[in-house]
Structure 1
Amino acid sequence: MKRIFWVRSAIGAALCLALLYVVQGSTAMGTGAGRWTVYGYDLANTHYARDEHHLGPSNVASLAVKWAFTTTGIVPATPAVDHGAVYFPDGGGKLYKLDARTGHPIWTRTIAALTGTAGAVSRTTPALHGHTLFLGTLAGAHMIAVDTRTGALLWKRQLDTHPAAIITQSPVVHGGRVYVGVSSREELFAADNAYPCCSFRGSVVALDAGTGAVLWKRYTVPAGYTGGAVWGGAPSLDLKRRTLYVTTGNNYTVPPSVSACVEAAGDDPVAAEACLAPDDYIDAVLALDLRTGALKWARRLQGFDAWTGACYFGGDWCPDPAGPDYDFGTGATLFTAGQGAERRDLVGAGQKSGIFWALDRDDGSVVWSTLVGPGGELGGIMWGVAVDESRIYVPIGNNGQVEYTLQPSGEVIDWGSWSALDTATGDILWQTPDPTPGAQTRGPLTVANGVLYGGSMSGDVHALDAETGDVLWSHPADGSVNAGPAVVRGTVFWGSGYESFGIGTPGNTLFAFDLP
């Protein structure tokens, strides 16, 4: 079996613009002081709590546990916070509304009871709008709408009837519509030789927020191909352009003629990519019309990449040749570089290859790309980056324990790290290793008032100086941390526990940290 590990090189420095960074106001508008109502804090998916002024580099070292709420399972989602309440699901199949001040439960619901699907759970951040909470589920691939006041079900909608379909991407809501991507477990099911691999196709769906009616559905791969799951982070919205940006994963299978063509291409990645159908939008950033779902542009950034869990765990369903499994592990993030006539709107995303890409928002052309750290099937870059007025913050998981050199220190490590990139050029400004040697740093990041917050699979949470990368504060959790925190009015809400692909340790706590 031949495995192909092509990675497109970082695009030339001549394209990089020495520009200052400015967040686009129309799409990066925060959810408001005292609120965190979507996965990435805002429609631009920046994970930047720009309204936070209580915590900063000078006092974050004094953070202490305010309260800790015990759940029925792992807490891998960033919680949503609104009007003094915290909303989140757990791995035990519960959905909670807690009092943000005390941690006392206001109501608890069982997701299986809401969907009617046995064993249904969620790992996504709820999207809040008015008195409605929107949440995607794993088993059954349902989107549900719940009344935030009572926890009562308002509507439910199955987004894909494929038995392996799931929703791991967090939804966003705007203008009376809910937007979300659809993924699947089929890539993992393929490790079982008895499973008839493969038939799932990834998609992006827009629903009516009031009724749950599907307004449009856009598949990411054509008939005859499988995969193209839309699973990482959340979509981002550009209201000025009326455009939705999403990222996609790898193919599971391709037609036999394509496999033969790729085999014949040998070590020529350009020839191999030419074997794929033009509308096989894998390992790509897509720009879609908000109203219709029509494709505005797509930028495929890996080339050929057919892969299943059989390539990792063993089994007959590993494609031959196989790709490197270099999905986009994060959703798209919107930011703007430059001043005056030099301003340029960009969309960025992190890939499991370890590369962060910055593209022109109008046509998808590559402006710059940076290899931040080692790639791998489990990252590379996963789940979510953060962006403030001057830097992009990127986690590197490095599940393969590959040695690499941190910049500018020159330290050589073989575990996870956090990095800050210049938003105009992609230059690495600093890199900080996880304080626990051997640990992976895979979860989404949050930046607020000069502090970067990141969790570790070691079972710790950390706060770093956003300007220097210095670790300012650390605290043990009760299990691996693959969730991002919500930082609201001086309180950091953070979940613990993660178990997947044989990595991570269980935990079942939502923590609230604040100053004594």
Structure 2
Amino acid sequence: MLHTSTLLPALIKLIAWTALSSLVASTSAYANCENTDIKPGLQQLFSKSWGIEYSGERFQSSANTSINADNASTLSLKWAYGLSTDQPRSYPLVTEDTLFIGDGGRGLVALDKETGCVRWENNSIKDISTSIISEQVDGRTLLIFSGRRSGVHAVDASTGDNVWSSVPKVHPVPLFSGSPLAYKDTIFVPISSLEIGLSANPFYGCCTTSGGMAALDVRTGELLWYRPTIEKAGSVITGKHYLFVEKRGPSGAPVWGAPMLDTQRDLLFFGSGQNYSLPASLTSDAIFAVHTKTGEIAWVKQFTADDTFNMACTISIDHPNCPSTMGPDVDFGAPPLLTQRLSGQDILIAGQKSGDVYGINPNTGQTIWSTRFGRGGPLGGVHWGIAANPELGLAFIPISDIPAFPSDVPQAPGLYAIDVKDGSLRWSVEREASCQERSCWTGLSAAITAGPNIVVAGAMDGILEIYRADNGEKLWSYNTKTEYDAVNGLPTKGGTLDAHGPMLAGNLLIVSSGYGSFQQEAGNALLVFSTAQEQTP
């Protein structure tokens, strides 16, 4: 899963944005926010996980959102907040009066939901890359999230004070990209590896690590168990180059996406990525089911074999660290989801970067049906996340199909609605590309969100749209690629819509616009839209 970015340009951008943010904050940032109450309300939470519910359906019911097919067309911009990064990678947690989100190089911020004014901010963790989730621990609410390199963190939601930080010692170079999930006394943390990028160095011996799923104690961050995707990563010496650089494998199979929790079966479901080096393993490009108490595997099902790829291959297929039998890089970056067929039977649905979508028996891992949309490739196919509406028996599949490797299969960027019982197509919206460049490509890479008879999707060309869930009719559209007068005074503009995607909460629609990775349109706008009527608890 290409959820990585070039480190040096990102560092330069981070320094520039941090300096600009500090300058503005010292002058006019809080001119209208002097009377903002620093204490957030914590009685009503609009999501339990990255997937809204533990099931991962990314479905917000009418109990938690008043935005629906009848009033979506009335949405208007309520306020914009200028983020301190042009690669926003955080997904908000919303309460009755507060929006918690990671603000790039600035840290974690608690924003007044009505005005966008800052209640409190925590400047100690500046690489937040996941959704913000919460858990009740000993009478207080903890905010839990991961930093890309800094590990997993717990912060007091009332004050912003640090409670604990943890870097699970599972291998030397962990990377935290997928959002954690908290349930009762345990936090489940997906882990990948920096070796995806380190492989670009020809003097680096690729590769020895694997991805996996860690379970931490919610009170302390202590590691309870770890399930690697490859039991003996790097155990085979496969050769040398430059006389002394040793090649090893199998490696890779990172876990890029959030896990999904089945509370009835006590199982976690998650997907794995491609192998980084030869030999290929049987657990790359696979869906795992593991027991929540122990991490023991209930079943694992591989969907694409021999997919071996790393960042060295983007430099040259002749790079000494690029596998000699390079794969297509079509891993599972998007989390699977658990939903029900209208008959009442559970079904696990997983979308792959190949463009394939699978209906899976959650008890056995057996494939019930499969279908394919578009061409697929290293940046999708299905890239960040699918959604489902259990009331309609539909799943919604965003297809990126960003230009990548040559292929005879036509690109088909757009949104597809399928019947969860058999994978059959119910409707589709194919988005026509205005150019072949990544900065204006019209595919859907970001995760999408479903609501009461609506689907909200953000495209790489910066267009945010809402469709009727039952027939695909477009109800509302907004071009986020513009400049904004931000409530915090920071110069603010929108760009590519990518990564975690939109959030529905009450009468609000929330999205981060601008994702400057992979030659896409950079921006730093946190946008909050609203309908006229507030959602009552």
Does TM-score exceed 0.5, indicating one fold? yes
Query: Given the alignment, which residue of 497, 507, 510 partners 2:526?
Result: 510
Query: Given the alignment, which residue of 254, 273, 288 partners 1:229?
Result: 254
Residue by residue, what CA displacement relative to the aligned partner does 1:216-265 show, whole Å, maximum 9, x if unpaired?
A: 00100132221010012x1111111111111100110124xxxxxxxxxx
* Cα distance, 1:445 vs structure 2: 0.5
2:51 corresponding residue in structure 1: 40
Q: Which amino acid aligns with 1:87?
A: F
2:486 corresponding residue in structure 1: none
1:259 corresponding residue in structure 2: none
* Cα distance, 1:436 vs structure 2: 5.3
Aligned-partner SS, 2:370: strand
Q: Which amino acid aligns with 1:185?
A: L
Checking the alignment, whether the CA contact within 8 Å between 2:65 and 2:505 is kept in structure 1 is no
Alignment of 1:111-122 (within 5 A): 113-114=124-125, 120-122=126-128
State yes or no: 1:253 paired with 2:255: no
* Cα distance, 1:215 vs structure 2: 0.8
Checking the alignment, whether the CA contact within 8 Å between 2:428 and 2:472 is kept in structure 1 is yes
State yes or no: 1:326 paired with 2:335: no
Tell me how far apart the structure 2 counterparts of residues 32 and 429 of structure 1 sit (CA, whole Å): 39
Aligned-residue CA RMSD (Å): 2.2
Checking the alignment, whether the CA contact within 8 Å between 1:76 and 1:496 is kept in structure 2 is no
2:122 corresponding residue in structure 1: 109
Residue by residue, what CA displacement relative to the aligned partner does 1:351-400 show, whole Å, maximum 9, x if unpaired?
A: 01100111101110000111022110111101111101221001111012
Tell me how far apart the structure 2 counterparts of residues 461 and 435 of structure 1 sit (CA, whole Å): 15
Tell me how far apart the structure 1 counterparts of residues 106 and 321 of structure 2 sit (CA, whole Å): 31
Query: Given the alignment, which residue of 305, 310, 313 partners 1:311?
Result: 313
Q: Which amino acid aligns with 1:125?
A: S
Q: Could you tell which deviates more after superposition, 430-439 or 200-209?
A: 430-439
State yes or no: 1:497 paired with 2:498: no
- Give the direction of change, closer, same or farther, for the CA distance of 1:222–1:441 in structure 2 (3 Å limit): same
Q: Which amino acid aligns with 2:529?
A: F
1:217 corresponding residue in structure 2: 226
2:345 corresponding residue in structure 1: 344
* Cα distance, 1:33 vs structure 2: 6.7
Tell me how far apart the structure 1 counterparts of residues 406 and 330 of structure 2 sit (CA, whole Å): 19
State yes or no: 1:129 paired with 2:135: yes
Q: Which amino acid aligns with 1:61?
A: S
Residue by residue, what CA displacement relative to the aligned partner does 1:15-41 show, whole Å, maximum 9, x if unpaired?
A: xxxxxxxxxxxxxxxx99751242110
1:24 corresponding residue in structure 2: none
State yes or no: 1:388 paired with 2:389: yes
- Give the direction of change, closer, same or farther, for the CA distance of 1:446–1:33 in structure 2 (3 Å limit): farther
Checking the alignment, whether the CA contact within 8 Å between 1:250 and 1:306 is kept in structure 2 is yes
Q: Which amino acid aligns with 2:374?
A: G
2:82 corresponding residue in structure 1: 70
Gaps of 5+ in 2: 1-41, 236-249, 435-440, 481-493, 533-537
2:174 corresponding residue in structure 1: 165
Tell me how far apart the structure 1 counterparts of residues 187 and 295 of structure 2 sit (CA, whole Å): 13
Aligned-partner SS, 2:196: helix
Checking the alignment, whether the CA contact within 8 Å between 2:374 and 2:410 is kept in structure 1 is no
Checking the alignment, whether the CA contact within 8 Å between 1:52 and 1:448 is kept in structure 2 is no
- Give the direction of change, closer, same or farther, for the CA distance of 1:353–1:88 in structure 2 (3 Å limit): same
1:421 corresponding residue in structure 2: 418
Alignment of 1:345-364 (within 5 A): 345-364=346-365
Residue by residue, what CA displacement relative to the aligned partner does 1:130-151 show, whole Å, maximum 9, x if unpaired?
A: 31011111124x1110001111
* Cα distance, 1:415 vs structure 2: 5.5
Checking the alignment, whether the CA contact within 8 Å between 1:90 and 1:123 is kept in structure 2 is no
Q: Could you tell which deviates more after superposition, 33-42 or 283-292?
A: 33-42
State yes or no: 1:243 paired with 2:267: yes
Residue by residue, what CA displacement relative to the aligned partner does 1:44-87 show, whole Å, maximum 9, x if unpaired?
A: 01100012452222221121101111110132332111232111
Q: Which amino acid aligns with 1:133?
A: L
- Give the direction of change, closer, same or farther, for the CA distance of 1:445–1:452 in structure 2 (3 Å limit): same
Tell me how far apart the structure 2 counterparts of residues 370 and 106 of structure 1 sit (CA, whole Å): 47
Tell me how far apart the structure 2 counterparts of residues 402 and 251 of structure 1 sit (CA, whole Å): 18
Q: Which amino acid aligns with 2:419?
A: D
- Give the direction of change, closer, same or farther, for the CA distance of 1:402–1:305 in structure 2 (3 Å limit): closer
Q: Which amino acid aligns with 1:235?
A: P
Q: Which amino acid aligns with 1:193?
A: P
Tell me how far apart the structure 2 counterparts of residues 422 and 77 of structure 1 sit (CA, whole Å): 31
Tell me how far apart the structure 2 counterparts of residues 194 and 222 of structure 1 sit (CA, whole Å): 26
Tell me how far apart the structure 2 counterparts of residues 413 and 464 of structure 1 sit (CA, whole Å): 24
Q: Which amino acid aligns with 1:136?
A: S
Q: Which amino acid aligns with 1:91?
A: G
State yes or no: 1:400 paired with 2:403: yes
Tell me how far apart the structure 1 counterparts of residues 160 and 181 of structure 2 sit (CA, whole Å): 19
Q: Could you tell which deviates more after superposition, 146-155 or 414-423?
A: 414-423
TM-score (structure 2 length as normaliser): 0.79
Aligned-partner SS, 1:357: strand
Aligned-partner SS, 1:217: strand
1:450 corresponding residue in structure 2: 453
- Give the direction of change, closer, same or farther, for the CA distance of 1:508–1:166 in structure 2 (3 Å limit): same
TM-score (structure 1 length as normaliser): 0.82
Q: Which amino acid aligns with 1:376?
A: G
Tell me how far apart the structure 2 counterparts of residues 337 and 159 of structure 1 sit (CA, whole Å): 38
2:37 corresponding residue in structure 1: none
1:468 corresponding residue in structure 2: 471
Checking the alignment, whether the CA contact within 8 Å between 1:252 and 1:308 is kept in structure 2 is yes
- Give the direction of change, closer, same or farther, for the CA distance of 1:43–1:300 in structure 2 (3 Å limit): same
Query: Given the alignment, which residue of 405, 430, 433 partners 1:433?
Result: 430
Q: Which amino acid aligns with 1:219?
A: P
Checking the alignment, whether the CA contact within 8 Å between 2:389 and 2:395 is kept in structure 1 is yes
Tell me how far apart the structure 2 counterparts of residues 194 and 471 of structure 1 sit (CA, whole Å): 52
Tell me how far apart the structure 2 counterparts of residues 96 and 461 of structure 1 sit (CA, whole Å): 24
Tell me how far apart the structure 2 counterparts of residues 402 and 217 of structure 1 sit (CA, whole Å): 35
* Cα distance, 1:161 vs structure 2: 6.2
Checking the alignment, whether the CA contact within 8 Å between 1:329 and 1:383 is kept in structure 2 is yes
1:22 corresponding residue in structure 2: none
If asked which structure has higher relative contact order (CA below 8 Å, sep 6+), I would say 1
Q: Which amino acid aligns with 1:72?
A: S
Checking the alignment, whether the CA contact within 8 Å between 1:479 and 1:496 is kept in structure 2 is yes
Aligned-partner SS, 1:311: helix
